[in-house]
Structure 1
Amino acid sequence: MLKNPEIDAVSIVLPDNMHRECVELAVQHNKHILLEKPIAKELEDGKAIYEITKNYDKVFTVGFLLRFDPRFNMVKQRLDNGELGDIIHLYCRRNSPITGPKRYIGASDLSMHVMIHDIDYINWYMNSNPVKVFAKSRSVLLKENGMNDVIYAIVTYENGAIACLEACWVLPENSPTIIDDKLELVGTKGVAYIDSCDQGVKFVSGEGVSYPDSRHWYYVNGEVSGDLAEEVMAFINNVVSGTKSIITPKEALDSLRVVDAIERSIKEGKEVEL
């Protein structure tokens, strides 16, 4: 397929441990690349992908869809224009039902599959390098599968700002929302809040209460809409216009570096440096 000159771009949506090989092949054949997050499963592979894509003359991007969520983008805009001042600290959570990890057994883990979404936009907000991480985890419901139920992580940045992250994917299967995510950001001039638990839409029936997805990957008139669609359209626009993605190889690698530090901190039981 990659040898076909009529194919200009590829989307790589394969298990995390296969990303390096696939990116290398796509680069060898000079294709534009949309790679599903994370950049790689192992830090060594992530560094290798970074090296071959940092000066790549085609489009290379990693699919962090919250970059295309207007709510998270609004916060970034207000940080950039100085309205919120400098970040003092922030707290975020991303909790979801246990149906998710039951599908991913052996394929991914909580820090890599869930928490990395928040790590990406936090790094984007901070405009500073993460330098230290302390993390704790607990495994009860997913213990027999060798997976964490919950992770808490504290990330310290070079500028002194602190980020506290919570991720859990063992909420009951009948939870009314597919994602309960929140952000509270405190700056020197203002505060930003995002609360996505109810998605802005509520249905009540004999089966209970539900908050269906209305932001990430819902359908409108039979077409996929929301952040996922915006992410794909941004990639297509980059390819057609000859522009670079807003998500750089270094940013994707930095997110993986934080995930790696989280896992090391959990294993070693202490704060670790990146």
Structure 2
Amino acid sequence: MGEWLIPWTERGRSGIDHDSFLWCSGKLYVMDNHRLALWCWWQHLDDEPRGWNFLHIDRHYDAFWPRRDFWLEHHNPSHRSDLSSFRQAKINLHEDKLNSTLYRWDSITTALLALDNDKIHNWWFATAGDGEKPPIPDYQVIDPWHLTAQLRRIAKPSEEDYSWIIDIDIDYFTHMDDDGSFCRVFSDQYIREIGSAISEGLTNNRFGVVTVALSPTTTESWQVAEELCWTLLESCPDLPELQAGAP
């Protein structure tokens, strides 16, 4: 059975800091705003004393605000445990301006890097190269044509490898042209193969936490984002419950 951590009452504007919903089923979390993924990872980081590997599947790197001292200054331990504190966290970057949201959709990887780098052994990124690159000297880049095979490989039972954080932004499956128009990049079969590997990794306890963000703002629309997400999660037995909770 799934749990609504933020009930889905509207298809809101999403954007940098508006959250319309957050749903979880075991170690799988689905949300509209990608920023919530950071809080979801924090709920599981201490589950693996040996540490983690991290795979970020997204059109963007999400590496805004890369300075470690920035995060050490503004982070509060309550942000990890309390979802409301996380969502409401603000910072004042300029004395003459309104407070800004601390945890944004475009800074989740740099926040994890700054605050929990000691718990992450290997960083993998499957992106379109959009946005600032993370300040990690030796991260691994995964090309689209290798992604499904890599996911199937790391989903297999293994006692030697670290558990994985798998982070997916649905906008990875789309492309935005210079004129602002969107198009789909990958076939349903490709997306289903990724979803099947995700289910296998969860079943085999290889994937310790999986986050999926619809990101309707960067995926053209709520309709497109939902269609892609439902295709990705076809193998999830609790998918009908998630769909039934949509407004």
Structure with larger Rg: 1
TM superposition score normalised by structure 1:
0.25
Higher relative contact order by CA 8 Å / sep ≥ 6: 1 or 2? 2
Higher strand share: 1
TM-score using structure 2 length: 0.27
